[in-house]
Amino acid sequence: MDDVTSFKIDHNKLLRGVYVSRKDPVGSETVTTFDIRMKEPNREPVMDTATMHTLEHLMAVYIRGGSSGWAGRMLYIGPMGCRTGMYLIAKGSLESGDILHMLIECFKYILNFKGPVPYTDLSECGNALDHNLFFAQYESRKFLNEVLLDIRPENLKYPD
Ligand SMILES: [Zn+2]
């Protein structure tokens, strides 16, 4: 099996934060995968699927919208299977600091969002009833206040 960088980091040491998970060449370009880690792995409760689903919708709306500045550069936004965070994949060879301001604005947007959750018609979403705006806002507030607004070097670089 190929080495997968994100499985090789020591999850026992991993804190919440904004990490570069990997950089991959695609043709003549590079794409950067970010690990937006909102929960300490195996050391605190994970988010439930409805919370993550709402985060996915609202992050996509904000980041792909005009005001984020990343509309054409963010290729993918989605939940981690372990439910401790989100993956973002962006065009370019980037560092955590490059998306930090955008992420802060994104979580503020979610925090202040007045429902209903966008794109939750049955024609638009694969599990339209499985959303939880209340807890998506709870988790956004917690991540903002406890991590993003007081970010430290250890929240921006994977542990050695
Ligand atoms: Zn959906």
> Where in the chain are the domains?
5-150
- Which pLDDT value is given to residue 135? 98
pLDDT at 136: 98
Q: Is 126 left (phi over 0), alpha (psi -120 to 50) or beta?
A: alpha
- β-sheet with 17-26: strand ranges across: 17-26, 29-37, 85-91, 74-79
Distance from residue 108's CA to the centre of ligand 1 (Å): 21
Ligand 1 geometric centre to CA of 48 (Å): 14
pTM for this predicted structure: 0.93
CATH architecture of 5-150: 2-Layer Sandwich (3.30)
pLDDT at 4: 65
Q: What is the pLDDT of residue 6?
A: 65
Residue 52: how many CB atoms within 10 A of its CB?
25
Q: What is the mean pLDDT of each run of 10 residues along the chain (160 residues)?
A: 68 96 96 97 97 98 91 95 98 97 97 95 96 98 97 94
Compute the distance between CA of residue 113 and CA of residue 105 in angstroms, rounded to an integer: 12
Report the separation in Å between the CA atom of 42 and the middle of ligand 1, taken as the mean of its atom positions.
26
What's the pLDDT score for residue 3?
60
Q: What's the pLDDT score for residue 9?
A: 87
CA of 110 to the centre of ligand 1 (A): 16
| Ligand 1 centroid – CA 44 distance (Å) | 25
pLDDT of residue 8: 81
